[in-house]
Structure 1
Amino acid sequence: MPQALKILLSLFALTIGLTQNISHAEPASKGRPTLRDSLCLNVKFSQGQPLTQLPILADLGVGWVRDNVDWPTLEPAINRYVGFPKEFEQRLSYYREHDIGVVFLLAYGNAKVYPESLFGGKLGVPAEPFARYALHVAKLMRASGVRFVLEIGNEPHNWLGSMGGNWQGKPPSPWLDHYLNMVRSTVKTVKAFDPNIKLLTDDDMWIVHYWLMEGGLPPDIDGFAIHPYAARPERAAVNHDTDWTRPFQVVDDNGSFASALRRLREQARKKLGREPEIWITEWGWEHGGKKPDGGRFSEEEIAAYLVRAYVLAAANGVPHTCWFSAQDSVDGPMGLIDNQGRIRRAYAALKNLSLELGDYRFEAQVQGQNTPTSGPQAFLFRHPESGARKTVHWNSDNSQAPQISLTQ
């Protein structure tokens, strides 16, 4: 009979049940990255987060961060490029020392240097100069020895929307056409330098990538970056019949996060002949933010949702998920740490997830496959060397902390 062992873990209160091993078969997860390598965090050092908080990255055990140096800093005059600033070099040194990869956000315009490209008085984003900025970043990052990918801007409908057109990308959308030109120029320029450098396009609404593919997204794009903010992790932010996603149906009738990923991959196979990786470069919840039922998100709920989000992403083939964010900084109460330095419960949740499952690989969903947005859910992870297995389980109908059952 199995022997149970329950341990209360810090603020997160994970429950660990110890049972006997029932199989020594070769894991289906062989060759997949461990969960730790999928754990990414949006850092805010370029927006005021103090460098004294760099050690939290090792404490949390994350494998990636999302960080950046903006375009005007690196090209202060036309075709005059400079190196990374000292503060970013300090961060790179830490990332290199701890084997932390960087999702480098290429951001944003350079209106002082390229005023002739202004749209709405502020953008300064001509496609070819932007591609040269990307190339400069690629060269500096490769020389740094730090693992990296390049993300081509952030939420382009917000960033470029003043150029006009339908906000969700449906033609006519001049902003989407311009973003496509930027993507084509950037991919062509960077790939000519090094075809192995990964580049990601960006979308926060589940629909923009559909219109990007319709408009002629380059087939050698490496990945889609998405921001699946929603009321809870198991559901997408849109429904199967959301009017502004038409003529596409971007989720199944159940509105599940899993179906949104599957449908985006299916569309990519149809339009590009392959499936770019899907990276989540932002995902999180606002502490005290309003819920659909009129309530407010508590620290305990967000700590539980953090674990559910990372597990769901790994279970659905997302190689890297970047929690938003490390510190509140300028974006409101989204951080693991607030602007006064107080550590929230979500911090402990991420740390404990990394400790408990960081060295494990996702193997299979074992409960809830047919009811992805309601009721019990369970996901099996396996250690690639010892073969030990752990199951993460929770009930989607509440916001209680998930449990992790260990099988020796």
Structure 2
Amino acid sequence: MGSCSSCIGFRGRSMRRGSAMNRSGQKKNLLKRMDKCVGVCTHFQSRDNGWKVENLLPLIQAAGIKIVRQEIHWHQVEKKKGIYKIPEVYQEWVDKASDAGLGIIMLLCYGNPIYENPLDPSAFAKYAKFMAGKLKDRNIIAYEIWNEPTNFRFYEQYGGSWSGKSPSLWRDKFCELLAMSAKDIREEDAETPIITNTGEPQFFNMIENEAGSFKHVDGVSHHPYPVIFPPETIPYGGGRISSQDGVSVADDDHSFISLFEMTRRYAEEHLKRGFKTYATEFGFSTFDHSRHPGWPAGYRQEAQAAYIVRSLVLAFAAGVQSPCIYDFMDDGTDRYNGEHNFGLIMNEKRDYEKKQSYHAVRRLIGFLGDSWTHLEKPPANLIVERTNPKPALFWQAPAQEPFLRIRSPQAFWFDKGDSILAFVWMGGRIGGEFNDPLGKIIWERPPRIMPVEIRNLVTGEKLPVKLSPPVRSGQFGERIILDEIPVGGAPIAIRWKYDR
């Protein structure tokens, strides 16, 4: 089993040395700081496919990314019944990521063919307990029990309704495994959050019918892939889908934010306690879907960059902890394969070339950092004036997609203590054929604050700060009017600085 000699933990401090009290304090500090950081999904065990940890960690750190989410497979750890050993290729990336100060969402998953039942809940729980005991002094910020049970093993083996509405044998069996493994993890590690990825309607049906299985579970992770939509819209919500799934998991606008708000509300109602929400996978592939259209759409690099940044801002505004982009590097080089092209950078065979999304995420993190508070009540108003074509020009009216209801200007605000950040864009598809409409931000009776920087997060272009004088005196003379802000598909970051 691989091990490190220096054992450097969060911010250069060892989490293996010193008293239990010191290690506990370091873990609490680690967990607190990572809640507001950006993560990426990785596959470091696949070295032959370009996932070389020594090459990729510097690129991850250079982007300001602080979290990796990855699995260590059960069947690789327990190759003989009752004998557990983390293979060196896995231990190496855990140690290197921890030594670099990154947080790790540790995914525990999938079956083991050495058992008559590859999904044996008792056997899985013992593997999970071993993993927690072995890794609790590393930079684990969450143990994630399983990944997409309807796509991996449970639904296929046991059957039942896909959404988990009753009757659903796979749901019952999954909840049995969840309860046993969460209990065993908690016995080994009292501090690190335990989360699970169940699926979106599946979670709602589980929490309604199997709430006791979540006794030792601290949160749930969703995978809010928009599939073919812009990031504000997810393929849930509305009467027809809710009827099909047996539960409503989003509002009638199919909004990203409502999924997480409704998740926490539903969990707190059934569990009678607070419940964390994560997004441990979401992304946009840059493949060419013209030959093989299917589940995901293929996006231009510019669109991928805009949509990933918008997703991250939406996630933080929705109260999501440690959102993780899928994934950091392209898994292959086939331009017609969707799974090969989700990365922020290209595959090793293409020299890890950075996509536009890599730079856009780096710019966003440069603005946000890891210390901020989302402002639910906007301190100022974004105004974008748009006029519909005259009735005689009805033929100029753009076609509307009935499922795509969020097409209005979006603005999200964050307080960083010494400054205020605003992120603005036009909801809906990125477009690109026409000029972006210009908007203005009006701040009534502002504090001693002024806009000092405006930047397009996709292109990196620094935009001019244009202030318009108020047209009236009195209380209206106290307002700040920031004018000529392009409000299109690319998110614009605006930094306001206090004059203190």
The code of the aligned residue for 1:248 comes to V
2 CA distance for matches of 1:274 and 1:251? Answer: 21
Note the alpha carbon deviations across 1:322-375, whole angstroms, 9 max, x for none: 00001121632111122223321111111111112214413315368xx99231
TM-score (normalizing by structure 1) = 0.82
Q: CA deviation at 1:222?
A: 0.5
Q: Of the candidates 217, 221, 224, which is equivalent to residue 225 of structure 1?
A: 221
Aligned CA distance change for structure 1 residues 63 and 349 (closer, same or farther; 3 Å): same
1 CA distance for matches of 2:95 and 2:281? Answer: 24
Q: CA deviation at 1:246?
A: 4.3
1:191-340 equivalences under 5 Å are 191-204=186-199, 206-216=200-210, 217-230=213-226, 231-241=229-239, 242-243=241-242, 245-288=244-287, 296-329=298-331, 331-339=339-347, 340=350
Contact kept? 2:63, 2:362, Cα under 8 Å: yes
Aligned to 1:9: none
- The alignment partner of 1:182 has SS state of helix
1 CA distance for matches of 2:52 and 2:243? Answer: 40
The code of the aligned residue for 1:219 comes to K
Q: Of the candidates 41, 54, 59, which is equivalent to residue 57 of structure 2?
A: 54
- The alignment partner of 1:262 has SS state of helix
2 CA distance for matches of 1:312 and 1:372? Answer: 16
Aligned CA distance change for structure 1 residues 89 and 295 (closer, same or farther; 3 Å): closer
The code of the aligned residue for 1:275 comes to G
1 CA distance for matches of 2:271 and 2:103? Answer: 27
- Output the aligned Cα RMSD: 2.4
The code of the aligned residue for 2:373 comes to F
1:135 and 2:136 equivalent? no
Q: Which segments of 5 or more consecutive residues in structure 1 lack a partner in the other structure?
A: 1-31, 118-123
1:61-100 equivalences under 5 Å are 61-82=64-85, 84-100=86-102
Q: Of the candidates 176, 181, 187, which is equivalent to residue 176 of structure 2?
A: 181
Contact kept? 2:330, 2:341, Cα under 8 Å: yes
Q: Could you tell me the percent identity over the aligned residues?
A: 26
Aligned to 2:479: none
Contact kept? 2:105, 2:144, Cα under 8 Å: yes
Contact kept? 1:328, 1:337, Cα under 8 Å: yes
2 CA distance for matches of 1:289 and 1:219? Answer: 44
1 CA distance for matches of 2:225 and 2:121? Answer: 29
Q: CA deviation at 1:92?
A: 2.4
- The alignment partner of 1:259 has SS state of helix
Q: CA deviation at 1:141?
A: 1.1
Q: CA deviation at 1:88?
A: 2.7
Q: CA deviation at 1:147?
A: 3.0
2 CA distance for matches of 1:135 and 1:304? Answer: 40
Q: CA deviation at 1:86?
A: 2.5
- The alignment partner of 1:179 has SS state of helix
2 CA distance for matches of 1:74 and 1:345? Answer: 37
1 CA distance for matches of 2:492 and 2:300? Answer: 19
Aligned CA distance change for structure 1 residues 246 and 70 (closer, same or farther; 3 Å): closer
The code of the aligned residue for 1:157 comes to T
Contact kept? 1:233, 1:309, Cα under 8 Å: yes
Q: CA deviation at 1:240?
A: 1.6
The code of the aligned residue for 1:128 comes to S
Higher relative contact order, structure no. (Cα contacts within 8 Å, ≥ 6 residues apart): 1
The code of the aligned residue for 1:271 comes to H
The total of aligned residue pairs comes to 361
Aligned CA distance change for structure 1 residues 37 and 246 (closer, same or farther; 3 Å): closer
Aligned to 1:152: 145
1:390 and 2:421 equivalent? yes
Aligned CA distance change for structure 1 residues 304 and 33 (closer, same or farther; 3 Å): farther
Contact kept? 1:379, 1:391, Cα under 8 Å: yes
The code of the aligned residue for 2:410 comes to Q
Q: CA deviation at 1:196?
A: 2.1
2 CA distance for matches of 1:245 and 1:261? Answer: 20
Contact kept? 1:207, 1:245, Cα under 8 Å: no
Whichever of the two has the greater Rg, that structure is: 2
Q: Using the TM superposition, name which of 226-235 and 249-258 deviates more.
A: 249-258
Aligned to 1:7: none
Q: CA deviation at 1:383?
A: 2.1
Q: CA deviation at 1:207?
A: 0.3
Aligned to 2:109: 107
The code of the aligned residue for 2:358 comes to Y
The code of the aligned residue for 2:428 comes to D
Q: CA deviation at 1:101?
A: 1.0
1:171 and 2:166 equivalent? yes
Q: CA deviation at 1:192?
A: 2.1
2 CA distance for matches of 1:279 and 1:285? Answer: 18
Aligned to 1:401: 490
Aligned CA distance change for structure 1 residues 66 and 156 (closer, same or farther; 3 Å): same
1 CA distance for matches of 2:59 and 2:42? Answer: 10
Q: CA deviation at 1:209?
A: 0.5
The code of the aligned residue for 1:67 comes to Q
Q: Which segments of 5 or more consecutive residues in structure 2 lack a partner in the other structure?
A: 1-30, 333-338, 383-403, 431-488
Aligned CA distance change for structure 1 residues 149 and 266 (closer, same or farther; 3 Å): same
Note the alpha carbon deviations across 1:162-189, whole angstroms, 9 max, x for none: 1211111112221111110100101111
Aligned CA distance change for structure 1 residues 43 and 79 (closer, same or farther; 3 Å): same
Contact kept? 1:42, 1:322, Cα under 8 Å: yes
- The alignment partner of 2:343 has SS state of coil
Q: CA deviation at 1:221?
A: 1.1
1:125 and 2:146 equivalent? no
The code of the aligned residue for 2:83 comes to R
2 CA distance for matches of 1:289 and 1:396? Answer: 24
The code of the aligned residue for 2:135 comes to M
Note the alpha carbon deviations across 1:102-124, whole angstroms, 9 max, x for none: 1111121111x21x11xxxxxx1
